[in-house]
Every structure is written in C-alpha cells, then in structure tokens.
A and B are shown apart, each in its own frame.
Chain A
Amino acid sequence: MVPEFGHFALILALALAVLLSSVPLAGALTGRSALQGFARPLATGQFVFIAIAFMALTRAFLLDDFSVAYVANNSNSLLPWYYKFSAVWGGHEGSLLLWILVLSGWTLAVAIFSRRLPADLLAQVLSVMGMVNVGFLLFILLTSNPFERLLPNVPADGTDLNPLLQDVGLIIHPPMLYMGYVGFSVAFAFAIAALMRGRLDSAWARWTRPWTTVAWCFLSLGIALGSWWAYYELGWGGWWFWDPVENASFLPWLAGTALMHSLAVTEKRGVFKSWTVLLAILTFSLSLLGTFLVRSGVLTSVHAFASDPTRGQFILALLGITIVASLTLYGFRAPAVHTRVRYGALSREVFLLMNNVLLMAAMLVVLVGTLYPLVLDYLGGGTLSVGEPYFNLTFSPLAVAVALMLGAGVFSRWKRTDGGWLGRQLLWPAAVSLLIAVIVPLWLGGFEPWAFVGCFAASWVLVATVRDIWGKSASRHGRMHGLRRLTRSYYGMVFGHLGMAVVMAGATVVSNYGVERDVRMTPGDQARIGDLTFRFESIGDREGPNYTAQQGVFEVREEGRLVTTLYPEKRIYNVQRSVMTEAGIDAGLFRDLFVALGEPVNGASAWAVRIQHKPLVRWLWLGAIFMAFGGGLAISDKRYRLRRRERKETDRQNASGVGEPAAEGGPG
C-alpha cells in the first residue's frame, strides 16, 4: 500500500509542478500579482509530495519490502541498515528520485530565502525551476518508476546492493554531487527569468552569486568524495581516472567556476552580461549532459547504471529542449548593446576574462575527450576510450595556465592596473615559487619537468595569495586590525585559491613521486619502498555481516621501528558472489601507505600484492575542503546577512518590491 502511496505522491507532485511552471509565469507576464502569489505555496507543495514519495521508498528499503522491484534489485535482508538507507539511491530509479528531491529542495530554498526579490521575478524564477521539475518528474514516472511491484511472485530475498557501493563514501557522495549539479539550476532559472524580463543587470548578478557559490561548494565536495572513494574502494590506488562519469561531474564544475568569476565581474562592473548569462545556461546544460551520460549507458564506465534506450532518448530530448529553448531565448533577449563601461588591458576585468577563457578551454578539452568516443560510436566507428594519455597531455598545461593567471590576477585592480606596479608585486612570488619548485622536486627524489612546473604553479598561487593578504591587511592600527577589516567574501576567495594551490601541489607530487610496486609475496616475505619495509605477516579468514574476507596482516617498519600495521582484505560478497578488494591504508597528511591484495598465485600460498607510497595524496581532498570552506565564507559575508536584516523593513514597505541594497564595498 505504501509504495502505491509514494507513486501517487509523485503524480500529485507532477500536477503541482505543472501548475508551478505555468500559473506564476502567466501572472508575471500579465502583471497579476494574485497569480504570482501562487509560486511559493506551489513550490512548497511540490517539495512536500516528493519528500513523501522519497520517504515511502526509504521505508520499503528499511523494511525489506522485496515486492518492490527496485528494492529487490538493490537490497538484501543481510545488508546493514545504513547501507539499506543509502541503497535508496544505489540504482537508477532511486537516484533519479533523489535528483528530483534535491531539485525540489532547491526550489523550496529559493522560495524561502528570496522573499526580498521583486515578486514577479521570484514568480518567474520558481516557474522556470518548476519546468525543470516537470521534465524530470515525467522522466521518472514514464520510464523509471521506482515503485514498480513484483507481484504475485515476491522474491524471498533481494539481489543485494552492488558491493562497490557498500561504503561510507557512497552514502554521502551522490547527495553531495546532486546538490551541486542541481544547484546550478537556480543560476539557470535566474538567467532565464532575467532574459524573459529583459533585465540583465548587476542586481541579477548579485542575486545569482550566492546560489551559484553554494552549488559550486557542494559540487567540489561531491567530486572530492567520489575521488576519495575511488582511491580506497576500487582497490588500485588511483584518484582520478578521467572516467566519462567523473568527467561528467567535472564539466559543470569547470563551467561553474568560470560562472562564479564572471558573475563577480558582472556584479561589480556591469560588463560581460551576455557572456555570464550564457555561462549560466551552459553550466546547467552540462549538468544535464552529465545526467544523460550516466543514465543512458552510452559510455562504458564503472559507474554506468543499467540502461535502457528509452531512458537515454527521454533525457536526450530533455537536454535538447532545454538547450534549444534557452539559447533561442538568449538569442532574442540577451543585451546586444555595447556597454559604455571602460577598462584597460591590464585590469581585473581582463584577468577574469582570461580565467574564463582558460577554464572554458579546459572544459572543451575534457568535453571533447569525453564525447569523442560517443560521437565516434554514433558515426558507427564502434566503442573506444580516449583515456588518460590524452587528458594528461591536454589538461595539465591549461591547469597550469589558470594557476599562473590567478597568481597575477589577485593583485590586479578593477578598471586599470599599473603594469610596473603589478610587475613589482609579482617579483617576490616569482622568486619564492622558483625556489620552491627547484627544492621540492629535488628533495622528493629527483627533478622532473612536470613536477617543476606543477610545484611552481602551486606555490605561485600560494605565495601570491599570501602576499596579497599582507598588502591588503596593512593598517595604521596594526596588522591584526587590518586582517579583521578584510571581508569574509575576501577570505572566501583566499581559501578558494589556496584550495586550488593545495590540490595542484597534491596532484603534482603524487603523480610524479608516488611509488607503486606490484610484488608476489608469501607470508614472511618483505618488500621495500625507500626506507620502508613492508612485511607480509599472515593471512586469515574473517566474517563480515554479508561477506567473507581473507584478511592479510602487513607490518610496515622504518629502520626497524614499527610505523603501522595494515589489514588489506579480499572480500567475497555472499549474494552476488562478487570479489572486492579492500585496501589497507595508513593515511597521513604528508603520505599514505597503501597495501592491496591482488589474486592468489601458485595455489594460494603466494599473493600478488600492490604496495604504494603516495606522498601528499590527502592534499587533493584537503584542497577541495578548502575550496568548499572558502565558498561557505563568501556567502556568509556581511552583505548577505545585512540584507536579511533589511528584509523586515522592505516587507513592511512592500510597495513595488523594487528596493535593492545599496552598492557595497567589496574587496579591492
């Protein structure tokens, strides 16, 4: 009964979404405020019914209701309860439901936090989000109903959740990722609404900015979680595979990063409007493209959900309608007049434009590498992978270029920057970075061209950022006062950029100086990496809740002193009979020690063992945390809080709703 109730709730949510996408919009276009007033209640109702459907599915999982086909295919009575919970989004139908839940959640958030917006704008924004919701609710109801029953032959037990997904990282990775993906729909909705109104101004950019930043934070964390999960769960110690599905999440991140920076220019200086709005459309389109790639099964990948062609066609149609409709609107309504705002060739505007150009180039490189096999397949050439060599060759130089531009850009001023002054500012960062880039590689074990370039780029960003703080915090009342005077949005930027430096340092060092050894070992054998000795002590059996494992014991010693003991496992999951490698990892800020069991060789007395020493690998994820923290700081800036206080006043006035906060003094 309850699953049918959930199904029914989804249908009701669709009805509300249809109303949301039409009534407030009609109200905004005809100027009838009564109709506009429906926007917020409808957004709330839509969320409530989708939440009910989600809870109904969750209940089916927790109570082992195997009469529901989706539950039977993705769960098992032996599964621990927390994996039963995360199994809700372990397959296509459920994760789509999560997608929709998140989308309606964002819609609700806009309805709650944007009361200060002009009522007709809010009505339009919520309507656009309602349209997206209609598309996805139709998708789930027509092609991927999670509440389908297996009647009358109810299976006695489920076929279990894919063992790869039975992991803490996978409990939180998809929700984070979707918060990011779907969050860009807010920027998209604002862009479409602004185009419809024909009013693309700095107020529009100011409203869009915090939403974009929040979505970007979630997406950064989501991507980092995915990378972390791949590192310890897939069992071979890589942290980024340029897998099509990883790329699918990376594309909107790159576009979203460009969007954040472009929005800053549009807000502060009122230029690049058409470009910014195009980026907002592009970012969300890339999110949809990512969804399409993952769900259509057109690309071979570790993540691919079992697919059927109607689903692929449906979401492709959704993608096509979104892109064509929004770009047509863009063509007719984007401002074509040249703005009269002037800026020099060395201004911050130009640096941020260069940042955008480079990020877009990087995005295109990844897009081409991801879609090329797909295009070739469509053209009849068969399925193939472009793979890591291509991405490393093309992406790395662009990443370095972004970093170099960033280091110079933080010093630049709006309108115009004095070239000689900028050069003097850059002298120290250049000298210090050069020194670091020579010393660090030599100290880590030898000079490598890419290690030099990567270390230089990372320390360039770091030193330039620190130098910039130093310069900006100078104050007559002492350094502390100066530091306190800087705004949170400035510190947000600092952390975002430091995060980028940390990620670059980690990626450079671990790819150039990580040591990987595949050895054949029997208990009692030793293997060495540098000063470290890995001794294979023993191997024994261990029983888990729904698997049996062979667990190895490895003692790692440095010059005789015990560093750590690692317990890598080879697990066999009882239901699907699939074998999983659980690596033994000793995590550290400066290095990870990693042991994974391969296959038994020579009749189980010896094992193929992979031993790895991964310097700075944690920095990859630490950097992402920095970035997300920076984003959090930026949106907690005074100017957003001030507005909340002002809100009451405006609510009281509430005449035309045109009131916009006065220009605020941002960073430099």
Chain B
Amino acid sequence: MYRYDEFDHKIVTDRVNQFRGQVNRRISGELSEDAFKPLRLMNGVYLQLHAYMLRVAIPYGTVSSKQMRMLAHIARKYDRGYGHFTTRQNIQYNWPALDRIPDLLEELASVEMHAIQTSGNCIRNVTADQYAGAIADEIEDPRIISEIIRQWSTFHPEFSYLPRKFKIAVTGHENDRAAIKLHDIGIVIVRNDKGETGYEVHVGGGQGRSPFIAKKLTNFVPAEKLLAYLEAVMRVYNMLGRRDNSYKARIKILVHETGETEMRRLVDEEFERIDASQMLSLPEAELDRISAYFAPPNYENLPAQSEVFEAAKGSNADFNHWVKTNLVPHKTPGYGIINISLKPIGGIPGDATDVQMDIIADLAERYALDEVRVTHEQNLVLPHVKLDEAKEVYDILCAHDLATPNIGLISDTIACPGLDYCNLANARSIPLAQEISTHFADLDKQYDIGELKIKISGCINACGHHHVGHIGILGVDKKGTEFYQISLGGSADEQASLGDITGQAFTEDKVVDAVDTIVETYLNLRQPEERFLDTYRRVGMSPFKEQLYAD
C-alpha cells in the first residue's frame, strides 16, 4: 500500500489547517453560507436534508487495518456509530457537527487519509478495480497509476473550478469491475505488441439525466505521457465545457455535442502542445517509487488446494454456499479473495457499524495481509486470505452479520441514500432495496435466479447507477407521490450498456411485484446457463413488457 512521505503529510496537514480557518470564518459569520459552500464542498462537506454530511476519500478503494479502525473510531466519536460506503469507494458520515469536522480531519490525517476533493466541481477521488493486485491476469496493478493521478489532481490549480465534477476510474484487467466506461475518464491498462505497458483512455461516459457510454479517444498512451494526456483532456473540457446549464456541464455532453472525432482532434492538438514542454513527463524514478509500494506482499508458498478448506466446504453447507458467491480465486496458489457483503437481507446497502468496521480491521490484520478494499458495488473485500483460514474468517464474519452469501445476486443491490438523507432525491431508495431483498430472502431462490444486479436511484442524478442495473429502478416524483421507473438490460462492465425503460412508472406498492414479474419472466425464458442479462439481450424487451403491463 502507498505510504505518505513528508510532502504528502505536509499537503494534507496544510489542508486541515486551511479548512479549520475557513470553518472559523464561517462560524464567526465572516463567511456567508454562500461563500462557504464551495470551500466546504472542496473538503467533502455537504449540507444534507437533516445535517452536514462528510465524505471521506478512500483512494482507489484501498485501506489498511489501521485506517479502517480510524473509520470506525470516527463513526463512534463524530457520528451515530455507523458509516456508509459509497459507489465511488468512499465512506460517508451523515451526522458530523460542522465545528468538529476540522478535528475529525486532523484525526484522519494522522492515518494518511483525507476528504480532499470528494465533492465540488473538481477531479474527484480516483477509483479502481477492487481486486487490484490479487486477481490473476492483471496487466498492471491499477493502483499505481491511480495514486499518481491522485497526486497530480490534488489541488490542481487549473482544474479546481471545472464546469462540473469530474470522475476518473482505472482498471488493469480485461474484466472491468470499476465501471470505467461510465466515468468522465476511464482508463484501461493495456500492453502493446512491443510488450510495453500503457493506457487506453475513454472519455465522456456518465449517468445522470443524459447517460452515455464513454468514447475511446486513444488506444495507447505510454506511462510517462499519461499526465500530459489527462491534462489535455481536462483543458479542452475546461475551455469548451458548458457552464450555462449544470445538467449539460459534464464532459459527456461536450463529447456528445462535439462528436467523437472532433473531440479526439482537439485533445490530440492540446496534448501535442502540452507534451512539447516535457513539463508533465512523469519521471521513471517516481513511477518506480510508487510502484514499489504496490509490490506483491509476502505470500506463503502454499499448495493450490487446501485440505482444511475442502473439508470445511464438505461439512458445512452454509459455508459452501458462501464460498460459491463470496470467494473469488486469487492469483496466488492457496489464497482466496473474500467479499464481505454489506447487503444483509433487509439491511441498508453499504452501511457498516463501528463494531463491524473494527472487526473487519482485525480480520484484515490477522488474515488478509493488512488490507481491505471497498467496491463500487458497496461491499468490502479482504484481498489476500489463505484458503486454510477462510473458514475462521467466515465464522467471525457470521458472528457480526457480515457473511451474507449474496455477492452478485438479486439482494446485492446498489442504492443511493435517496429521500431518507438526500435533498436532491424524489423518492426513497433504501426502503425499496430493503423490501426487494426481503422479498427475495430465500437463498435457494436467489441461487436459482443467479447473477442479477439491481440498482436503485432516488432521482435522475443516478447515484444508484440505475442506468447500468440489469434491473434499474429510478425514483420519480409525480405531484408529490413517489413513482418508480424500471429499466432492463443495463450493465457497467466491459460490455457496458444502458438499460431500456420498460414503460409507464410503477407506484411504490407495485414495484416489488414488478421486479418479481420480471424475474419470473426471465426464469421462464432462460436457456441453460443463461444469466438474466444474457436472456434479456437475446429476447429483448417485449416479453417482459407483456407480462408487466398485462392488465
């Protein structure tokens, strides 16, 4: 994992002190709420329905056990004993008092964490594949370039007041778990025919009111030129992005209105100018320095098959089920990647209590080479667990309601905070996620349905990623009543697609029935081994529509 050096410490500490000054000026009245707003936003502080909300950055979703303990401590000391992991691999606290936030940030800084650029119209926290460094067939650990991007984008003087927020995601694997095509910039690490590592850059993806899949602007940028290329994209956006309408201000609209070819030309032209100065050519020594932090940990030499593990699976059916859904093969023999579901049946997706966070920190320290990952699907990961010890980990997870065996299944829902917390929402998301997961609580039923990703957003801003849900649900408001629009066939992976709307929206009491109808229709239509998404892509909307609007 990356560790701060003196420069990183100084930058984060300066920021805490600066924000303390800003909060003091706000409390004394020198700053109006209006003038304070952009400053607090740049530090991850939102004003929500009921209180201030603080979003803490978890760069590329990686935390150490020490950092996880701090997140637990903050939940206990400054909040109401829980935190909420988000689709951007961050954590949000819903109840901190404004005057205590500087202290909170100071505590975070002591474990090399911050809330810098977790909001505001700037380059946000960089996200990456949660299995980075642990999964087989990775071209390069995406956290290396993500850390470089984190540093380059921090307090970027030119790009801190962009037309709109800006999100970058990176994957180093052909299976995209970071939804890179739904980001303002999505980076895929590739290798060219000469065997050199470089970056494929996709620009202009996004969800919200006008969803778009990103366009690939270049097949290959070498490592030392990536920052110059990114700066070129950012400058074209800062100069030409629309500022007259916040719904049209994201780079996806610029790409759409300019056209892919012209956008590529503009970026190439800017890139040539920036690259000519060599100012942004990344020194090899720095790439090496940062790479060294992500060198593989000291794995033990183990046989690929663990007798203890196999025996436990044989004697404990629940464990066996959990292994099938939540444990993913590791690149190293004798190890596994463990997913911890934060979607207990009937629970709030992505929430974890302080006690749970402490337990996960302990597990990471004892069993997972001291690392935890946050996934964009709002679950956690213990990336390096010995198969010999998987059952011990499972037993501890069970004792703390953290062993729900539902990763990728219908109850593993993404949901935004919705009307329960958010002042933008039209409708509630969390209660609906809870109802759906309760409705499909029966595990055998869930296994039978197989992979099915439901994603719920409480408004058109699409924080719950409904556009890319296999089943997407969007809360809409019609004259004070909550309605839900359903879409089918979305996907956020390397075959990214946007869902198609089924038709007329459903009232709150009819949504779960509608989801049930969709699932039953799929079960009747599917061919052997066919996932929901495959069936939908094969048969299209009509059979689902017929069943949904039969009366």
Chains A and B form a bound pair: no
List B residues at the A interface (Cβ < 8 Å): none
